Amino acid sequence: MRLTVFCALICTLLLACNTAKKTADAVPSSAKSEKVVAASTTEKPQPEPRFIKWDKTHVNLGTVKKGDKRELSYEFTNVYNETLEIEIISACHCTELKHTNKPIPPGGSYRIDAIFDSKEKDVAETIYIDVIFKNEDPRSGYPIVEQVTYYFEIDK
């Protein structure tokens, strides 16, 4: 059963880039900014964390010139009563992820660095970064899965 769930998660992750929300037409023109100098972050309201607490769950990269690269990072703290271990961290092929596979003790923190490469992108998009833990959620029996996102618009 666990292998089936894991395989389903991997298939979902592999398709994440192709099925990510393409929001170029969904953003009203009045909400689009002409120029964004630096990436901005927004805090989405989060329920009380059960396992980890993110420093942020979304980054808005603003307008990115096609072919440019942008760096971003996410950090979280283990608020669970057990050491957490990461099974896999994945994202779209346009995103290079840098992280370690060290266990995260209770109260410990962890950083995920990402580099977005816009060379193959033609439209605005939200990219999902999935973090799958080896630990199981005691309520469901399934692996703990967390997700963070970033958004960009393309200037061709």
Q: What is the mean pLDDT of residues 41-66?
A: 84
Question: What pLDDT, in 10s, does the model give residues 54-65?
Answer: 999 999 999 999
- Rounded to whole angstroms, the Cα distance separating 113 from 71 reads 7
Q: Residue 4: enclosing H or E segment and its boundaries? A: helix 2-19
Q: What is the mean pLDDT of residues 30-59?
A: 66
Q: Lowest-confidence range among 28-32, 50-54, 69-73, 107-111? A: 28-32
| Report for 1-5, 33-37, 119-123: range of highest mean pLDDT | 119-123
Could you tell me the pTM of the whole model? 0.72
> Higher model confidence: residue 153 or residue 8?
153
Structural domain including 56 reads: 2-155
Q: What is the mean pLDDT of residues 17-36?
A: 42
- Tell me the one-letter amino acid at 51: F
Residues belonging to the chain: 156
Question: What pLDDT, in 10s, does the model give residues 122-132?
Answer: 999 999 999 99
Residue 45 in this model has a pLDDT that exceeds 50? yes
CATH number of the structural domain spanning residue 60:
2.60.40.10
Task: For the chain, count helices (H), then strands (E).
Answer: 1, 9
Return the pLDDT at 25: 41
* Number of domains observed in the structure of the chain: 1
Contacts of 94 (CB under 8 A, 6+ apart): 17, 116, 117, 118, 120, 121, 127
- Rounded to whole angstroms, the Cα distance separating 107 from 83 reads 9
Return the pLDDT at 33: 40
